[in-house]
Amino acid sequence: MGITKKGTEALLDNHQALLQAPFESIREQIHGLQNLGINGSVLSRLVKKRPDVLISEDIHSLICFLSHDDLKGMIEAPQLARLLILTDPKFLSGFEAKVQLLVDLGIPMERLAHVLNNVNLTKALCLKSSEDIERMMAYLNRFGGVELILRRPTILNFDLDSQLVPRIEFLLNMSGGDDAATTTVLLKLPFILAYTVEHYTNHVEFFRSVAGLTNEEIFKIILIYPSLFSASRERKLQPRIEFLKECGFSSNDIYKLLIKAPLFLSLSFEDNLAYKLVLLVKIGYEYRTKELGFAMGWVCRTSCKNMQEVISLFLNYGLTYEEILAMGKKHPQVLQYNHKSMRQKLDYLTEEMGYEVKETLAFPAFLGYGFDARIKHRFEASGKLSGEQGMSINKLFSMSSARFSKKHENKLPPVTTVTVK
């Protein structure tokens, strides 16, 4: 195992039980550990820290259990070594039964390795009784249960009464007692359960006192974007809300922006928002205005590079900054559309459909429609009537699919019936 003679003598002198144990039983234990992937320096470090691993009956039982064909290799060697180093062998008693209990409680056998390798086995299984595990799973079944555990196995590390119940009950109270909505939040971001009730309370109080939002409004934002609890109040939330207030936002305006663009709370200012702010001001948005504030919300959904490409695309097609600004105010989403998709649509609009690019100033929503399913299909189905015939793209593309189909179905060529004699 790589332990020196001097180290071996010290090990035996300090652990008389090891000295007195039958040699064959020690060798069998070592081979068992090696068969489970614990070799070399990992094995020698384990023996130095936990010499009793070589003689413990509980560890022998664990080795035999994990050596079964259907379980061998299920717990990765580093994870198993951590378990044996951190856990007193007396707490390993019943480990096999607790693993089987997880399967009985609904953890699929094919996902068991995922769970076992992503928890603290000492906290999740060894220090919990089978009754504790059953009680925890029974409680969690109300909020996603097995699916929640599979998404974030470390939830099993928590204590039910002092950690999970208070945290989930806080979210449940915020939802007005809505189990389904609370479950949605937990499944969207299981990591949310790693935060304390104090952390939740401080964030909620911030939105109440500084942003002026109600509990109902705050929970609706949480429902869409539970990651808001991951944003630092001092570094991100405070300056973002202050910026919106400087833009003249009321509490209702703040709510409307955050419900549509919650990423505004989390994106980096230096690497993302500041760059977009400069671009918006460059095309004509005035600083400290509501229009600028709402525009900042919309551009959260695109990258800095794509936003720059969109503006360059419009400029290359002959539009001015003033026209891009007017388009953005009329249809704020236009600055977040994919620039490659927009280029394809503008090329088709001008080269195939015979329209001027300035048509998009009156109807910028055109640039958000699907190319094949709506733009190309409708233009061809309408008989390829171009801008020269006076039909606006607004009229051609804004009508509902049902109305368009009814209006143009009589333009389809008649079906000819051929009689074979």
CA 146 and chain centroid, separation: 18
Residue ranges for the chain with pLDDT beneath 50: 412-421
165 Cβ partners below 8 Å, 6+ apart?
139
87 Cβ partners below 8 Å, 6+ apart?
121, 122, 126
* Single-letter code of the amino acid located at 237: L
Q: Residue 413's pLDDT is what?
A: 47
Cα diameter, the chain: 108
DSSP state of 7: H
Compute the residue count for the chain: 421
Percentage helix, strand, coil, to 5, in the chain? 75, 0, 25
Q: Residue 415's pLDDT is what?
A: 42
Q: Residue 397's pLDDT is what?
A: 86
Both tokens assigned to 149: 């555990």
Contact 174, 138 (CB under 8 A): no
Whole-number Cα distances in Å, 291 to 227, 273, 284, 305, 384: 26, 16, 11, 22, 38
Measured between alpha carbons, how far is 341 from 309 in angstroms, rounded to an integer?
A: 11
Looking at the whole model, is its pTM more than 0.95?
no
Both tokens assigned to 159: 């204590």
Measured between alpha carbons, how far is 92 from 179 in angstroms, rounded to an integer?
A: 36
Q: Residue 410's pLDDT is what?
A: 53
Residue with tokens 């394809």: 344
Q: Residue 378's pLDDT is what?
A: 86
